[in-house]
Amino acid sequence: MGSIATSGHAVDLAKLEPVFDKYKDMANGSLIPVLQGAQDAYGFLPIAALQAIAKRLNVPISQIYGVVTFYAQFRLVPRGKHVIRSCQGTACHVRNSARILESLKTVLGVAPGDTTEDLKFTLETVACIGCCSLAPVMMIDTDAHGRLRPDRVPKILDSYSN
């Protein structure tokens, strides 16, 4: 897991109100839906939001942390504006996807699972995205980029720079 964003920028807790409101009639068991709603609102789960949830739902913060780290769907670190999924499937592997990933790591300066400091890109690896004919391939958000060469990576990333 990457480092946990402690404060950085202020968290707008007002974004939680509609989430609380939606599940206010659930006597128990609203924690997971509330966490999902919070993640939708912030893109990840900031500590300040989790503390507010702990207080409102009267659930210990430690327990919330347990839930958040148990389920792969929850993120404690912000994701970038664009998510890059570098394919490491068999077809991509034999077409040297390792070099593509190396290039991504060098250009972005982050390891898989991490996000660039300017919060533009999150780098992830994926086992197969089902475009083996385009190998080696990566996806940025919903766009597939195939028949990659390491030297093309910077230019592709540039086209997402805003």
**Interface residues toward another protein, by CB under 8 A:** 4, 47, 60-66, 69-70, 76
Q: Residue 22 or residue 55: which is nearer to another protein going by CB?
A: 55
- For residues 59-74, one letter each, b for 16 or more C-beta atoms within 10 angstroms of the residue's C-beta and e for the rest, the string is beeeebbeebeeeeeb
Nearer to another protein, 64 or 108 (CB): 64
Residue with tokens 């974004």: 15
Q: Which is nearer to another protein, 11 or 76 (CB)?
A: 76
User: CB of residue 42 vs another protein: minimum separation in angstroms?
Assistant: 16
Please report how close the Cβ of residue 152 comes to another protein at its closest, in angstroms.
36
Detail the DSSP E strand segments found in the chain.
82-87, 121-126, 138-140, 143-145
CB of 138 to another protein, least distance (A): 27
Phi, psi of 122 (to 5 degrees): -115, 130
